[in-house]
Amino acid sequence: MDQKIAVVTGSSSGIGLATSLSLARHGFYTYATMRNLDKSKNIMDMAKKDELPLQVIQLDVNADKSVRDAVDRIIAEKKRIDVLVNSAGYGLIGCVEDLSMEELKAQLETNLFGIIRVTQAVLPTMRNQKRGIIVNVCSVAGRIGFPAMPGYIITNFALRGLSESMRYELDQFGIKVVIIELGVVRTNFSNSSVMAKKALDPNSSYAQLTQKVSAGIRLLVEHGIPPEEVAKVIVKAVTSDDPEPRYLVGNDAAMLIEARTNMPDAEFEKFMKKEFLGI
């Protein structure tokens, strides 16, 4: 009865998969959720091999009914939810002029509204318990703009503000909110990212810039930290009696935030152009 219950979104791969396994290894009964259960074999095989307290269930963060059904099932089975890790999301590549409103809305639907949708479904249970912790997996891009990724950047800036606002609202109920601000992580981010349709047009005024950024992302991801390192930080946060409001993960993230904090705006822009655009 004392076993804590964790729910993780986006568990089919990357950070969500690593976090689900790590939480289960630390004694949490973990619901590893994902939109497409056809992608569940990997995590199910690892959980079975290590005899972990982990169950895979379907949850599409973009669908009200899917979220409601998943949370209702968890409450029916376990009567509580102690930890929610929001890690589902994807990248959208393309400069502002090349982005359609439909592409932007889809990005916001998953990376922002999906988090709000799942959080709203879980909060009544956490309030009744008078305890819980919500972990929002964000990016250092929630504090720094990057070219050719404004859709993704928008959602990260918004998620940071959302998380900070929720901390004030939920503290009275004993619910903690934590932001995980990532540098580059070695996941399938570059492969799962969506390229805006107009950005694929070689005649786009931004084609060269977009191609340079896209290639740079692939290279950075290859040398990023493993998702297991992110999972370690998340486990540290959710097992702490007094977790920090935010955790920077990765030396690159720390370097960028330090530069952004200490440099004047004009100097920082020059730094970013040199580092990421080679100009």
Read off the pLDDT of residues 192-221 as tens digits, 9 standing for 90 and up: 899 999 999 999 999 999 999 999 888 888
- Token pair in block for residue 35: 């939109």
Within 87-150, strands assigned E span 92-93, 132-139
pLDDT bin (cut points 50, 70, 90) of residue 241 is very high
pLDDT bin (cut points 50, 70, 90) of residue 84 is very high
Domain ranges of the chain: 5-277
- Token pair in block for residue 187: 């996941």
Average pLDDT, the chain: 95
**Residue carrying the six token digits 């992302």:** 217
Strand partners, 84: 7, 134
The set of residues, in sequence order, having a beta carbon less than 8 Å from that of 92 and lying 6+ positions away, is: 99, 103, 104, 106, 107, 149, 151, 152, 193, 194, 196
The set of residues, in sequence order, having a beta carbon less than 8 Å from that of 168 and lying 6+ positions away, is: none
**Which whole number is the average pLDDT over 167-173?**
98
**Choice among 29, 31, 152, 206 that is catalytic:** 152
Read off the pLDDT of residues 96-130 as tens digits, 9 standing for 90 and up: 999 999 999 999 999 999 999 999 999 999 999 99
Report the greatest alpha carbon distance in the chain. 62
pLDDT at 224 over 60: yes
pLDDT at 189: 80
How many CB atoms lie under 10 A from the CB of residue 190?
A: 18
**Which whole number is the average pLDDT over 140-145?**
93
Is CATH 3.20.20.140 the right assignment for the domain spanning 5-277? no
Read off the pLDDT of residues 30-83 as tens digits, 9 standing for 90 and up: 999 999 999 999 999 999 999 999 999 999 999 999 999 999 999 999 999 999
pLDDT at 265: 95
pLDDT at 192: 83
How far apart CA 184 and CA 3 sit, in angstroms, is 33
Read off the pLDDT of residues 86-96 as tens digits, 9 standing for 90 and up: 999 999 999 99
Residue 152 annotated in active site: yes
How far apart CA 90 and CA 1 sit, in angstroms, is 36
Phi, psi of 204 (to 5 degrees): -60, 140
pLDDT bin (cut points 50, 70, 90) of residue 1 is low
